[in-house]
Amino acid sequence: MAKATKRRFTDEFKREAVALWETSGRPQTEVAGELGIMPTMLRRWQRKLQEGGVPANPAAKPPVSTMASPADQASEIARLRRELGRARMERDILERDDVGLNR
């Protein structure tokens, strides 16, 4: 019998998974199932984030202040549009995979 390999997740994945759970308003079990992880992992990652155990995202930028220059705002909008495009692409891929599994 082959030994199961332990999956490893990046700090970025952990942060994004916890953020998805916290902002979606959906149950922990639902979000964890969607991500293919155990609900206890999600809770553990959340706890570590709150304790400072998972490093902050180095690519994260501070929120745009109300006094930001127009150039800074345009830059932030462009970054957010790229991020949204990536999220939409990932969602579409997941939907395609999900449809393929239900055949």
Q: DSSP letters along 11-76, please?
A: HHHHHHHHHHHHHH---HHHHHHHHTS-HHHHHHHHHHHHHT-S---TT--PPPPTT--HHHHHHH
Residue 89's CB: how many other CB atoms inside 10 A?
10
pLDDT of residue 40: 94
Tell whether the model's pLDDT for residue 87 goes beyond 80: yes
In angstroms, the CA 48 to CA 30 distance is 21
pLDDT of residue 2: 63
Tell whether the model's pLDDT for residue 21 goes beyond 60: yes
Percent of the chain's residues with pLDDT above 70: 77
pLDDT per residue over 55-85, tens digit each? Answer: 555 455 444 445 667 777 788 888 889 999 9
Element (H, E) at 28: helix 28-35
pTM of the model: 0.49
